[in-house]
Structure 1
Amino acid sequence: MRADTPLKAIACFDAVMRTGSVTVAAQQLFVTPGAVGQQIRKLEAWLGTPLFVRTVRKLQPTAQALSYWQQVRPALQQLDSASLAVQGKGDLQVRLSLPPAFASSWFARRMPQLTRRYPQLQLHLSASTDRVDFSQGTVDLAVRHFDGQAKDVQARLLLADEMRVYCSAEYRERQQLRTLADLPGATVLYTTSHAHWSQWLASVGLSFDGLARGLQFDQSEMAIDAARRSQGLVLTSPWLVEDDVEQGRLVQVFDAVLATGKGYYLVQARDIALSEAAQRFEQWLVEAARCAASGLNG
């Protein structure tokens, strides 16, 4: 490495590229936005080329910036990994991203098993449905709900998904829900994340005609909670209501099950090797999913 290589400036450049914001980069680096801007200008002078097109609202990276970042990013990741290894932290950390509803239900239910098996594991959880950019080095593994078709990442099926109808026992008795013929008059709880009511109704030979009013929710957790509180029928994944069914807060109302063609997939980068800790966690997660699927289908 050249003696005049501006490592601090390169670190600031990396932070801006990862976050897309000088302000956020400054917060992560615990410096002021002005200090980050100064380091970016220093790096541009050292490289002899502009790295960003400056507008009123944001910085737009140039083609040279994108090319340079692609080349220096692996070296920065390797430097970070080497430092963690020397500090004794590299083999313990796993960074995981999960959908919020899945994180607070299926995964939370099994976390005690994980911590008992790997008490030294340092797990960093992020609840999000956003697309993961593994090149930023902020996530090792992610679970996503989709059809498994992905060209830019490796995707391994954990749990095939399906839709079932649930409500509280109190609501079922109040509405006298015994057969599908009793469905008209019940309140339907709609969710944008699991918008499968029309498909489920069609699968049992029914439609929305004759159904009572419905309530709309943009998050599965809210619709499920409304069902717990006897507000209506929720159509959702059995993986999100395991505890509720086991503890009697929710009951499955009808036998009809709708296969969605989607599932919960474990995704990871194709070109970034997992750490030993991440590999152990991956094995545990696959095993836990296999046991869960066996229990549901058994």
Structure 2
Amino acid sequence: MSPYPPLKTLPAFEAALRLQSFSLAADELNVTPGAVGQQIRKLEEWLGVELFTRSVRQVYPTADGLAYAARIGPALQQISDASAQLRRRQDHSVHFAMPPSFAAKWFSSRMARFLIMHPTTALHVGSTEEKPNFDQDGLDIAVRYFDGNDDSLEAVLLYRGQAAVYCAPSYRDELGLETPGDLVRATLINDTKHHWWADWLATFAGIDPDQTRALKHIDIDQTAMVIEAAIHNQGVVISNPLLAEEDVSEGKLVHLFPEHVLTVPLGYYLVHPKKRELRSQVRLFRDWLLEEARDLVSSQRL
């Protein structure tokens, strides 16, 4: 008799225990519930114990089932990790995620440059406001807007967090916005995800938070929409310069008071799991992104 159980039974057992359902396990494994049940019975016969208590709508692991899962779970995860790592080495694609505002206002206009430089690399791009889940989403690398502190991640600063003030040229001229104090006459467009107005006005205009709350404002929870509202003459926006630089270069926005830029404790970081070795394609993409960001910082200093 082989010292190994029927290996095809183990994925069915793991999925059924995790989901507590033969039907849900079948959906995940792309087989029928009957096939899952058959694999579980084979494993139970080989082991000589019951792994599940069956009911009409659900299955529950027995004490033996839970103990067995605790022993074989790490080994199954090791098999999965080793297989995925070996497959990734042969993969010429890069799976990348970033915040939606970063995608819309900075990355989208640069993406073609990377593909022209590296035509054999397939780039798979997604956007999310959530913390990236590298294992669940199959990501290689991501941009995350946070403070850079996460023990599980290798984090390299791409662009420091800053808060600067912008509006359409016609809005500036119409309201005569010449000093930070003049903003009391403006409509403040507030990005609820990056709310730095109170700090900026206190630092550069001597306006306390109570006065700031009394000023006319619009609250919007999407950064790209906040910038679009400013472009369409709806008020003054406070934004990271990285997100506004293209609209400034095209003349859609002007940077009000460029000598008054607030440094904030967050930034755009390029992140990936510490324990994961990056494939050559991913390293190329990482280095290209860092170079693009360095070019932007250098041009803003000129």
Alignment TM-score, normalising by the size of structure 1: 0.81
Partner Cα distance (2:114, 2:20) in 1: 35
What root-mean-square deviation, in Å, do the aligned CA atoms of Structure 1 and Structure 2 show?
3.7
Greater alpha carbon shift after TM alignment, 170-179 vs 126-135: 126-135
Q: CA deviation at 1:223?
A: 1.0
Counterpart in 1 of 2:243?
240
SS of match in other structure, 1:184: helix
Query: Given that residues 77 and 137 in structure 1 are in contact (C-alpha distance below 8 angstroms), is that contact kept between their aligned partners in structure 2?
Result: no
Q: CA deviation at 1:274?
A: 1.2
- Structure with the greater alpha carbon radius of gyration: 2
Partner Cα distance (2:220, 2:245) in 1: 20
Within the candidate set 47, 64, 80, 1:76 is matched to 80
Percent of residue pairs bearing the same amino acid type: 31
Q: 1:181 to 1:286 in 2, by over 3 A?
A: closer
Query: Given that residues 189 and 214 in structure 1 are in contact (C-alpha distance below 8 angstroms), is that contact kept between their aligned partners in structure 2?
Result: yes
Partner Cα distance (1:23, 1:165) in 2: 55
SS of match in other structure, 1:249: coil
Partner Cα distance (1:15, 1:171) in 2: 61
Partner Cα distance (1:128, 1:117) in 2: 26
Partner Cα distance (1:22, 1:174) in 2: 67
Counterpart in 2 of 1:206?
207
Partner Cα distance (1:180, 1:167) in 2: 13
Counterpart in 2 of 1:138?
138
Counterpart in 2 of 1:222?
225
Partner Cα distance (1:114, 1:125) in 2: 13
Counterpart in 2 of 1:10?
11
Q: 1:67 to 1:269 in 2, by over 3 A?
A: farther
Partner Cα distance (1:224, 1:134) in 2: 30
Q: CA deviation at 1:251?
A: 0.9
Deviations along 1:180-211, one digit per CA (max 9) or x if unpaired, are 23211211111121111111011111235275
Within the candidate set 276, 279, 283, 1:272 is matched to 276
Greater alpha carbon shift after TM alignment, 223-232 vs 134-143: 134-143
Query: Given that residues 95 and 125 in structure 1 are in contact (C-alpha distance below 8 angstroms), is that contact kept between their aligned partners in structure 2?
Result: yes
Query: Given that residues 14 and 73 in structure 1 are in contact (C-alpha distance below 8 angstroms), is that contact kept between their aligned partners in structure 2?
Result: no
Q: 1:80 to 1:196 in 2, by over 3 A?
A: same
Query: Given that residues 168 and 227 in structure 1 are in contact (C-alpha distance below 8 angstroms), is that contact kept between their aligned partners in structure 2?
Result: yes
Q: CA deviation at 1:266?
A: 1.0
Q: 1:197 to 1:23 in 2, by over 3 A?
A: farther
Counterpart in 2 of 1:95?
95
Counterpart in 1 of 2:191?
191
Q: 1:191 to 1:83 in 2, by over 3 A?
A: closer
Amino acid at match of 2:221: D
Query: Given that residues 191 and 223 in structure 1 are in contact (C-alpha distance below 8 angstroms), is that contact kept between their aligned partners in structure 2?
Result: yes
Q: CA deviation at 1:159?
A: 1.1
Q: 1:103 to 1:65 in 2, by over 3 A?
A: farther
Query: Given that residues 13 and 40 in structure 1 are in contact (C-alpha distance below 8 angstroms), is that contact kept between their aligned partners in structure 2?
Result: no
Q: 1:145 to 1:49 in 2, by over 3 A?
A: farther
Within the candidate set 260, 276, 285, 2:264 is matched to 260
SS of match in other structure, 1:91: coil
Q: 1:259 to 1:165 in 2, by over 3 A?
A: same
Q: 1:71 to 1:183 in 2, by over 3 A?
A: same
Deviations along 1:219-271, one digit per CA (max 9) or x if unpaired, are 21121111111111110101111211111111112231000022111111111
List alignment gaps of at least 5 residues for structure 1.
Answer: none
SS of match in other structure, 2:178: coil
SS of match in other structure, 2:119: coil
